[in-house]
Amino acid sequence: MRHRLALRKFKRTSSHREAMFRNMLTSFMLHEQYETTAAKAKDLKRLAEMYITLARNDTLAGRRKAYSYLKSEAAVKKLFTQIGPRFKNRNGGYLSMVKTRRRAGDAAEMAFIRLTDDTVEAKQ
């Protein structure tokens, strides 16, 4: 049974998978966009939203927790000074994922993940 197993394994060891997502999340925080396979984008979205929620309140404990995972001062600084305050009044849904194409070679479904734009308001 698969109870309480949230993330995919991607046929990698746990250390390789953790390093892969640390690298992906760090790059995402620095560039605010990332293109990867759709399955990896779904798991990256879950991680990124957790750290953006953490960054909404700039505390020392939050910075230390983010730095323990990201391992990049530049990424943590950008997360807490630019990205976190941008979503201060939003209760989730910070990222959008757009499926783009099929990758040549293995026909994997690719997706583009990026931060949502807060300047666009819903028309009623």
Domain of residue 109, CATH code: 3.90.1030.10
The DSSP bridge partners found for residue 34 are 113
In a domain, 6, yes or no: no
In a domain, 4, yes or no: no
Question: Would you write out the chain's pLDDT as a tens digit for each of its 124 residues?
Answer: 878 777 788 889 989 999 999 999 999 999 999 999 999 999 999 999 999 999 999 999 999 999 999 989 999 999 999 999 999 998 989 999 999 999 999 999 999 999 997 544 444 4
In a domain, 9, yes or no: no
Q: Which residues contact 26 (CB under 8 A, 6 or more apart)?
A: 70, 71, 72, 75
Q: Are 46 and 7 in contact (CB under 8 A)?
A: yes
In a domain, 104, yes or no: yes
What's the chain's Rg over C-alpha atoms? 15
In a domain, 48, yes or no: yes
Structurally, the chain folds into a number of domains equal to 1
In a domain, 52, yes or no: yes
In a domain, 102, yes or no: yes
pTM, whole model, 2 decimals?
A: 0.86
